[in-house]
């Protein structure tokens, strides 16, 4: 038998080694969860999307359904949108849907939005009776267009909240379904027709969303999208990749799992009575779109009533993307902070015995991957560098870890691009696809780290509870010329 005498230094070294191994295991486990989770979502999306493309007929609206289509109130919120408001409204006026009203909510802006609306569409004061079924700031006046009987303008007091503006539109909406859109968006003519089939075929559907794409680089004339192309700026091109990944895989797969936690605020259709039953949009939330969906989940789970919240990828809304760093930073800080607010506010949904895949799969995934992602990515990089410089990790191993991380991101981007080509093929030139693949490689060297840092700032501001101000959001209007 041999006896070993361990010195205090040896004991300390052993404890340090165990601590390092434990920390390394935590980071590794987090990366494994992300990898397995995204791969699983990708596989689910791949098996689903073939029936949801323009080449497949499953999601087109048969003519026999047209007589049974429910009315839809489209709510377009506008705060200082003088450059884009006319284009967005003209786009909606050409929507291929038989029973439609358009409600433009002027949210107390200070620019020429009201003036342009009144002049361009011949708006005149229109007395109308309504109830404040969901809370919103005072509605000062309502106007109706002489040229278009379906077009209404609502002038309200600004409440520093997009959610409050949508609530104003809900209060005046006449139809059982409503769609909320941003004023910097262009809706394809048949998008409402395609998403409406979900409501007709499944009476339990209370909300449905479609794909949002980047309009920068495209050409829009009189509200019509006449040409699709990639943006000219690097920032916008990189956002094209992000949107492809988010909508092609994430939301399509979560919808298939009946665990969709978010419908984009840029384009969604909702059952009005369902939204009114939960009090409308929460005006103090920075993530008002996700907050509404999570509250709808909680409401129907608590009541034990059947419901469906869906996503179909083919109905498309084109939206303007930030092309300057300051605006993009504000957007991503707000998104991260809004996400954390919602997850914290509705944490009782996590592992709720009756919540099914929503509470046992989607919610924990959001916490581990989306909420904790920026922290784990930054700490993981710092930890790897510290171990390298202290000599605890071989240079080859450190390089391998970084390569695997970059390779995984590139794999997700490449699979999104491949799926785009095999299904939608929105961008007609294959040069566009090759260009996007090149940017999928380059985004790992600077852009990805910048976005992570901004999300970390959003996390910090949520933790300390600092006040958020929207500020001016710079718009790009080149696609309207």
Domain, as residue range, for 137:
17-466
| 11 domain-assigned | no
pTM of the model as a whole: 0.89
Confidence check: pLDDT of 329 > 90: yes
| 473 domain-assigned | no
Cα–Cα distance, 398 to 388 (Å, whole number) = 7
Highest-pLDDT range among 1-5, 25-29, 255-259, 263-267: 255-259
pLDDT value for 57: 45
pLDDT value for 120: 95
| 5 domain-assigned | no
| 262 domain-assigned | yes
Cα–Cα distance, 20 to 2 (Å, whole number) = 28
Q: What is the pLDDT of residues 107-122, one digit of tens each?
A: 998 899 999 999 999 9
The burial of 356, by beta-carbon neighbours within 10 Å (0-12 exposed, 13-18 middle, 19 or more buried), is given as middle
Pair type for strands 224-227 and 219-221: antiparallel
In order of 331, 452, 457, 458, the CA distances from 466 in angstroms are 16, 19, 11, 10
Cα–Cα distance, 243 to 362 (Å, whole number) = 19
| 350 domain-assigned | yes
pLDDT value for 133: 97
| 462 domain-assigned | yes
**Residues paired with 75 in a beta bridge:** 103, 180
Q: What is the pLDDT of residues 169-207, one digit of tens each?
A: 999 999 999 999 888 888 888 889 889 888 988 999 999
Q: What is the pLDDT of residues 51-95, one digit of tens each?
A: 655 444 444 555 556 667 899 999 999 999 998 899 889 989 988
pLDDT value for 206: 97
> What CATH number has the domain bearing residue 440?
3.90.550.10
Q: Give the gyration radius of the chain's Cα atoms.
A: 24
Domain count, the chain: 1
| 10 domain-assigned | no
Task: Kindly write down the DSSP assignment for every residue of 300-336, as one continuous string.
Answer: HHHHT---EEEEEEEEEEEE----SHHHHHHHHHHHH
Q: What DSSP designation does 4 have?
A: -
> What does the mean pLDDT of the chain come to?
85
pLDDT value for 228: 85
Q: What is the pLDDT of residues 201-210, one digit of tens each?
A: 899 999 999 8
Cα–Cα distance, 442 to 217 (Å, whole number) = 20
Which two tokens mark 55?
A: 């080449």
| 154 domain-assigned | yes
């Amino acid at each position: 038998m041999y006896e070993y005498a361990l010195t205090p230094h040896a004991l300390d070294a052993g404890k340090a080694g165990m601590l390092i191994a434990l920390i390394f295991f935590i980071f590794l486990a987090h990366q494994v969860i992300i990898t397995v989770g995204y791969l699983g979502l990708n596989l689910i999306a791949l098996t689903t999307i073939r029936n949801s493309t323009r080449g497949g007929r499953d999601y087109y609206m048969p003519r026999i359904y047209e007589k049974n289509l429910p009315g839809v109130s489209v709510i377009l919120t506008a705060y200082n949108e003088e450059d884009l408001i006319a284009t967005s409204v003209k786009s909606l006026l050409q929507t291929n849907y038989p029973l439609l009203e358009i409600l433009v909510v002027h949210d107390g802006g200070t620019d020429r939005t009201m003036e342009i609306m009144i002049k361009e569409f011949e708006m005149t004061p229109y007395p109308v009776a309504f109830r404040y079924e969901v809370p919103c700031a005072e509605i000062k006046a309502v106007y109706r267009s002489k040229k278009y009987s379906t077009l209404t303008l609502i002038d309200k007091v600004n409440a520093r909240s997009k959610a409050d503006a949508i609530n104003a539109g809900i209060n005046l909406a006449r139809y059982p379904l409503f769609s909320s859109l941003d004023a910097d968006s262009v809706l394809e003519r048949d998008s409402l027709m395609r998403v409406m089939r979900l409501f007709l075929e499944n009476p339990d559907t209370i909300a449905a969303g479609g794909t949002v794409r980047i309009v920068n680089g495209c050409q829009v004339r009189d509200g019509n999208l006449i040409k699709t192309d990639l943006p000219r700026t690097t920032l916008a091109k990189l956002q094209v990749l992000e949107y492809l990944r988010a909508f092609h895989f994430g939301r399509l797969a979560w919808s298939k799992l009946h665990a969709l936690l978010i419908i984009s605020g840029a384009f969604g259709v909702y059952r009005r009575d369902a939204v009114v039953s939960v009090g409308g949009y929460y005006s103090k939330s920075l993530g008002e779109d996700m907050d509404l969906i999570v509250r709808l989940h909680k409401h129907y789970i608590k009541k034990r009533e059947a419901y469906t919240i869906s996503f179909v990828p083919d109905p498309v809304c084109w939206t303007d993307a930030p092309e300057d760093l300051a605006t993009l930073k504000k957007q991503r800080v707000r998104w991260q902070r809004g996400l954390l607010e919602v997850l914290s506010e509705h944490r009782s949904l996590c592992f709720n015995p009756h919540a099914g895949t929503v509470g046992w799969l989607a919610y924990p995934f959001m916490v581990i991957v989306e909420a904790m992602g920026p922290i784990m990515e930054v700490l993981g990089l710092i930890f790897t560098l510290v171990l390298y410089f202290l000599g605890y990790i071989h240079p080859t191993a450190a390089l391998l870890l970084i390569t695997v991380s970059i390779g995984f991101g590139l794999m997700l981007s490449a699979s999104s691009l491949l799926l785009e080509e095999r299904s939608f093929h929105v961008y007609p030139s294959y040069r566009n696809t090759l260009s996007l693949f090149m940017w999928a490689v380059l985004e790992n060297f600077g852009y990805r780290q910048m976005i992570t840092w901004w999300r970390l700032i959003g996390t910090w501001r949520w933790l300390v509870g600092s006040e958020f101000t929207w500020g001016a959001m710079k718009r790009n209007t080149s696609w309207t010329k």
